[in-house]
Amino acid sequence: MSDTYSNSSQTFSMDKIKRPSYTIHIVLFIITFVTTLMAGMEWTTGKGGPYEFTDLMRGLPYAVSILFILTFHEFGHYFAAVYHKVKATLPYYIPFPPIPGFFNFGTMGAVIRTKSVIPDNKAMFDIGVAGPIAGFIASTAILIYGFTHLPSVDYIIQIHPDYFTPEYGKEGINLEFGSTILFEILRTLFTNANQFIPPMSEIYHYPYLCVGWFGLFITAMNLVPVGQLDGGHIIFSMFGEKIHEAIASISMIGLAFLGISGLLGSFIDYDLGFGWSGWLLWAFILYFVIKVKHPPVPYFEKLSSARMIIGYFAILIFIISFSPSPFILSVEF
């Protein structure tokens, strides 16, 4: 039996209402799994295509880990939206195939879309904060697993037989991931001096460390307190429009400064010791696409003490997950 709804002119059956299709979500998830599998194989082995099935399987720990983090993050948002009766889609995973000469992680993340108005800043806060906290927990768990399951030194020698020779890294472009406060804390807590601990210039060969680092990087990018990023939702909901606008403006200036600093180091050999040119691109995207200001909500009231504590915890997550220089490229001769 079906319910019926009527307006002044017609009656129609629920059976005729278009039901949501999950096909696009499933297809995007499968494609993203494949592209992260390819990226994982390239990051961990240093080899490009063409790929054989056995090669791709080496990318499986990377692919599963990165999808685990993305899924935790997005379903954090989704379940918070469901709790507040805000209509939202399931996650849209965004694949990004590896491109020769251009490093990427096989995905550009994932997003959900809200399809109804968020009624107040409490709901806005809960939906905004749930994703980063869930993603942060997942990233931390992956990093702890990576540090507690480090392979022996033979692992890096299999990839780079000349790793311990003076010639290693000469006459080539070297990539180093920028560390973060949390990464350093976890490395100190869960490793010991008797192990071979890979430097930041080699962690991309270690899938769990690479993915855990990437998870923190994405979490920090989303927690930048600008516009409708997760960080923007959080700061707006906690402090209101005026304070959010001031913090967002300062954040934009900070990103631009880090980006320009990175450009100086990359193109005119004037290295300030910090910065990444990608932050300037991110600042442009925020300014022209996502926007700096946060749109108002229908109803705004002061958050409870519990929500404020959670909000300050999210700010702490941003601080310990952010790297001013996430990617450091150098050329050795």
Mean pLDDT of 116-142: 97
Q: At what angle do helices 305-321 and 121-148 cross, to 10 degrees?
A: 40
Confidence of residue 19 (pLDDT cuts 50, 70, 90): low
* End-to-end CA, the chain: 76
- Mean residue pLDDT of the chain comes to 89
Between CA 30 and CA 27 the distance in angstroms is 5
pLDDT at 330: 74
The tens digit of pLDDT for each residue in 241-252 reads 999 999 999 999
DSSP assignment of 195-234 equals S----TTTGGGSHHHHHHHHHHHHHHHHTS-STTSHHHHH
For β-strands 107-111 and 92-95, DSSP reports them as antiparallel
Is pLDDT above 90 for 9? no
pLDDT at 23: 95
pLDDT at 331: 67
Is pLDDT above 50 for 144? yes
DSSP assignment of 172-203 equals EEEEEEPP-HHHHHHHHHH--TTS----TTTG
pLDDT at 193: 86
The tens digit of pLDDT for each residue in 197-226 reads 999 999 999 999 999 999 999 999 999 999
C-alpha neighbours within 13 Å on the C-beta side of residue 80: 25
Confidence of residue 16 (pLDDT cuts 50, 70, 90): very low
What tokens were used for 232? 């923007």
Lowest mean pLDDT of 35-39, 207-211, 270-274, name the range: 270-274
pTM score, whole prediction: 0.90
pLDDT at 219: 97
Mean pLDDT of 163-192: 90
Query: Domain limits of the chain?
Result: 23-332
Confidence of residue 93 (pLDDT cuts 50, 70, 90): very high
Alpha-carbon distances of 58 from 35, 55, 209, 211, 312, rounded to whole Å? 13, 5, 15, 14, 39
Is pLDDT above 60 for 3? no
Is pLDDT above 90 for 273? no
Between CA 237 and CA 312 the distance in angstroms is 12
Give yes or no for a contact between 76 and 85, defined as CB atoms under 8 angstroms apart: no
